[in-house]
Amino acid sequence: MEVFNMTKKEFVDAFAKKGELKIKDSERLVAAFLETVEDALLKGEGVRFIGFGSWEVKERAAREVTNPQTKKKIKVEAKKVVKFKVGKPLADKVAEQKVAKKATKKK
């Protein structure tokens, strides 16, 4: 299950605040960043930010899978996918964060 806590608008606002920018400038810079990453990936190039992470295009091989409902075998064509690999410094910072305890039901 994927959980997204920050929308693009919230990111633009946070980026503007941290960079002491006007919202319009922040929107323009974020859009330029995203377009640049997209352009590189569409050309088959990777994008790497040392210490943060990297995006790259990988080819997923063709394979045969089973539909869990019908049990029929289905051929899935090869396709290109974008992979993101987090950099070690960022991974270490995230790993240092305390894990929130889940609330438990009282019996």
Residue-wise pLDDT for 2-48, tens only, equals 567 999 999 999 999 999 999 999 999 999 999 999 999 999 999 99
| Strand blocks (E) in 1-107 | 47-49, 53-60, 63-66, 73-76, 79-86
Task: Examine the pLDDT at 107 and tell me if it is beyond 90.
Answer: no
pLDDT for 62? 96
pLDDT for 98? 83
Task: Report how far residue 86's alpha carbon sits from residue 51's, in angstroms, rounded to the nearest whole number.
Answer: 8
Which residue, 48, 49, 65, 66, is CA-closest to 57? 48
CATH number of the 46-96 domain: 4.10.520.10
Domain ranges of the chain: 1-45, 46-96
Residue-wise pLDDT for 42-82, tens only, equals 999 999 999 999 999 999 999 999 999 999 999 999 999 99
**CB atoms inside a 10 Å sphere around CB 96:** 7
